[in-house]
Amino acid sequence: MSLDDLVLGVLLLPLAAALIAGLGRNLVGRTGAHVLTILAVALAFLASALILRRVLVDPRPHVLTFYTWMMSGGARFAVGAWIDRLSALMMVVVTFVSLAVHVYTIGYMHDDPGYARFFSYLSLFTFAMLLLVVANNLLELFAGWEGVGLVSYLLIGFWFERPSASRAAVKAFLLNRVGDLAFLLGMAVLFAAVHTLSFRAIFAAAPLLGRTPILGGSGGMTVATAAALLLFVGASAKSAQIPLHAWLPDSMEGPTPISALIHAATMVTAGIYLVARLSPLYVQSATALSVVLVVGALTAFFMGLLGIVATDIKRVIAYSTISQLGYMCAGLGAGAFAAGIFHLVTHAFFKALLFLGAGSVILAMHHEQDMRKMGGLRRFMPVTYITFLVGSFALVAFPGFSGFFSKDAIIDAVGRSPVAGAALAHLLLLGGVFVTALYTFRMVFLVFHGEPRMDEHTRAHLHESPLVVTLPLVALAIPALAAGWVMFRPFLGGSFFAGVFGRLPYGHPLGFVSRHPHLTPLAFVMGAFSEPSFWLMIAGLATAWYGYLYRPAFPARAAAAFHGLYRLFVQKYYVDVFYEVICARAGWLVGRGLSTGGDRLLIDGGLVNGSARLVGAAARRLRPIQSGRLYRYAFVMIAALVAVLGYALLT
């Protein structure tokens, strides 16, 4: 089978399944909907694996063109694919996680009346993300970008009868539109400079764009910097970086399977993928790299702090997602593109595992999500507990788990990077290690340890989730534990991503791996025990143990002692207040002013009705001269003629 056929299969199978399951759900029924979509995603996963196998043999980029849909002013707009090791790897990760989520959904959404519709949305979401990943030009990538935004709106607001879900969907949609506007402006800058949006042309022109001022002349911001910063604003909205992060915690209003899919392998990773894909452009701008680095580090630390006070199990994991996306951004900003993508891959496995594990807990607790009403669940749900613990150790980067290899590589790369702001970013990332361990094991201890705190009815019916729920947990726990061991040398040593990312003008921050050919994963693990990140992680774990197992009254006393800080965290730094009270209220006032002063008074009252009143008033003034008497008309005509002749004679 040709590469073109495989790529088209990966794209069209989920799309066809989504359309049939959605539009024909009355024909295929509930069983047909999940069988069809799961089969389509499974086949897409197999095709993605075959594509990855081919690019491992032949690493050069394969630029495919399926058809040209428009020619304008000499610019050619085509639908195609850019297949290299980065896009092939992303296809495998997206389809694997999506497959696990599809299977898990059978058990989680079993009693929901929108069962078939949900499977249709899941498959459509997978298609949109795959389109984004394989695109060979920015316009096609933007189509997938908007696709995941649209379907995320449908999925976050899936239970639309809940006002909170509807508000969360609208909030996600609006905040992402801010990023999309910047994305469009970034595309416009590149199109004006290169006259095309194809990656091949942009990459070839990138060195020149790094020297060309955006407004002409001999100084100022370059085209590369302007385009990279605008595109990063779009990436920040999609990947929930400060200050456009506020939509992501509220997206927990959607069903748990979509929380896992959005937060693990799709949508939120789209911004990370965009920056990595356009790395030849970003390496031409030290300013853009510095912004990406500092924004990522600030997000990693300050968003992690909010997980310490959250009580909803899904929101804790959501804040951890934002924080881990910050680590990925920091890695990209430091120029360690391979480490950033490495963490994207490992994070996809352990974050999907944590979300699906949380969903298993929520099912057992009869849809209760408040961790303060849980406790002691490890005795009732051993499989969920063990797999959740694997995901937690991967999240805190415990040596040997997959998250350790990628996260510690990022921290090390940021510490070695010469990019402006790297010293501050390194401190923030180290602080984030302590914070991550604290909120993660706070969650583990509150949910699975201690005495049960649920009501008697819930406690009497506690049991392990069915196999259709626990099987995806086990499937995801394996790569969450072992993926780092397999990927360490190929990813960080440079052999896997050779030729994929842009070349930095200075030494590569991950060069220590390639300079030490005998640095094995085991040696990297053993070296962790002498690093500050390991002891900060242990300190966070110990603090969580002390506060939530050994001295359960300690958190309440600490909150009372630091009431102002605690209030700041609970209010999420008042970002939501700023958006809702300042931005939304200001927008409402501007709209009301334009409606009242502009539309009613100026347009309707002045231009439309005012012109009508002016004509009416003029008609009333001129009406008396229309008397209908001929001698008056003759007199006026003669008088006018005399006046004209007199004027002619005098001049």
pLDDT at 508: 67
Dist CA 368 CA 360 (whole Å): 11
Given the structure tokens 């506020």, which residue do they identify? Answer: 246
Distances (CA, A) of 373 to 164, 362, 369, 447: 21, 11, 8, 8
Token code pair at residue 623: 């009406």
What DSSP string describes 594-607?
IIIIIIIIIIIIII
Token code pair at residue 555: 């958190």
Token code pair at residue 187: 């595309």
Decide: residue 71, CB within 10 A, 0-12 exposed, 13-18 middle, 19+ buried.
exposed
Answer whether 0.85 is exceeded by the pTM: yes
pLDDT at 302: 93
Note whether 450 and 549 are within 8 A (CB).
Answer: yes
For the chain, which residues score pLDDT lower than 70? Answer: 73-74, 216-219, 494, 507-508, 511-517
Note whether 313 and 362 are within 8 A (CB).
Answer: yes
pLDDT at 264: 77
Residue 162 phi, psi dihedral angles, 5° rounding: -90, 120
pLDDT in tens, 567-599: 998 888 888 888 877 877 787 788 887 777 777
Distances (CA, A) of 112 to 150, 167, 262, 333: 22, 21, 20, 43
Cα–Cα nearest to 223, from 191, 185, 180, 193: 193
Token code pair at residue 527: 């070296």
Cα–Cα nearest to 147, from 341, 15, 329: 15
pLDDT at 462: 83
Terminal Cα-to-Cα distance of the chain (whole angstroms): 95
